[in-house]
Amino acid sequence: MLFDAHSHLDMLVRSPSELPFLLEEEFQGGISALVQVSTDPDIHHAYSPYFRAKEGTVYPVCGLPHTYHGSKKNEPLHKLTEIVRGSQVFALGEIGLDYSRSPSADEREKQGELFRLQLELAAARDLPVVIHMRDAADDTLRALDEFPSVRGMIHCYTGDGALARALLERGYYISFSGVVTFANAHALRAVVPDIPGDRLLVESDAPFLAPVPFRGQKNRPFMIQHTLRVLASLRGSTFEEMAASTARNARRMLGI
């Protein structure tokens, strides 16, 4: 019943041929379905035969993250457009803005341009989006307001309650990762009880952000069970109820 709303399986294996073995281990570990996030169209194409073989359990999405900008963007954006037009993905992502390394004004402008191009593509194809947002809340909200028909999820949420409410008002789902299990995540944990039950998602972001007790190790999708237990405790729910509701929410968000 565990549905991982955001993972990077390609970063957990050395080649696409290893993917079936990895997935078998994840399913044995309790995963019933997961979202594979490809941050490059070439990655999507390399792994897509294996996604098709696991139809109904692996849901591919693809997008160009903030690190694609400048002269590099044109060919990948064309490839992404063809993937979307071919109905090969369930969402467009991850896309968004990241100001954590204090980018210059020019770099911020390029990030914003790429972000809006992909929001426009999502709007045209009626696809949900997977949003990466780091130290860029105001500019992210401004961009989302330009495309009010677009919906989706805020991946790896680490903001406060006020920002969560602003995103919820815009129709977005809020996804929590292993960060919520960290000992210093008091402020983030305080946000969890206020998220409506039908808008809450759980993700691994594998291979990143492994939850306690695996913090510092390579993350795996099956480890979301530890994140789910913390979410359930914070919301006065059972593990089974939390697993079921986040799975329902993920399917609703993806339109499946």
Tell me which DSSP letter residue 248 carries: H
Residue 212 Cα distances to 21, 84, 223, 226, angstroms: 25, 36, 9, 7
Query: What CATH code would you report for 2-254?
Result: 3.20.20.140
Average pLDDT, integer, range 59-63:
97
Distance CA 225, CA 223 (A): 5
Q: Is the pLDDT of residue 113 over 50?
A: yes
Q: Where are the domains of the chain?
A: 2-254
Question: Mean pLDDT over all residues of the chain?
Answer: 95
Q: Could you tell me if 216 and 210 are in contact, meaning their C-beta atoms sit under 8 angstroms apart?
A: yes
- Helices and strands counted in the chain (H then E): 9, 8
H/E stretch holding 97: strand 92-98
pLDDT (mean) for 200-227: 98
Res 70: pLDDT: 46
pLDDT surpasses 90 at 251: yes
Residue 54's pLDDT is 87
Q: Within the chain, where are the H helices? A: 19-28, 41-53, 74-85, 105-125, 137-145, 161-169, 186-191, 224-234, 239-254
Mean of pLDDT values over 153-163? 98
- Percent pLDDT > 90 in the chain is 93
pLDDT at 56 over 50: yes
Residue 14 pLDDT grade (very low, low, confident, very high; cuts 50, 70, 90)? very high
Amino acid at residue number 238: T
| 17-55 per-position pLDDT tens digit | 999 999 999 999 999 999 999 999 999 999 999 988 888
How is residue 180 annotated by DSSP? G
Q: d(Cα 139, Cα 150) in Å, to the nearest integer?
A: 16
Mean pLDDT computed over 158-181: 98
pLDDT beyond 50 at 150 = yes
pLDDT grade for 92, boundaries at 50, 70 and 90: very high
The strands making up 2-7's β-sheet, listed across from edge to edge, are 2-7, 31-38, 58-62, 92-98, 129-134, 152-154, 173-176, 200-202
Q: What is the pLDDT of residue 71?
A: 44
Q: Is pLDDT of 58 > 60?
A: yes
Q: Is the pLDDT of residue 69 over 60?
A: no
Grade residue 85 by pLDDT with cuts at 50, 70 and 90: very high
Helix (H, G, I), strand (E, B) or coil at 33: strand
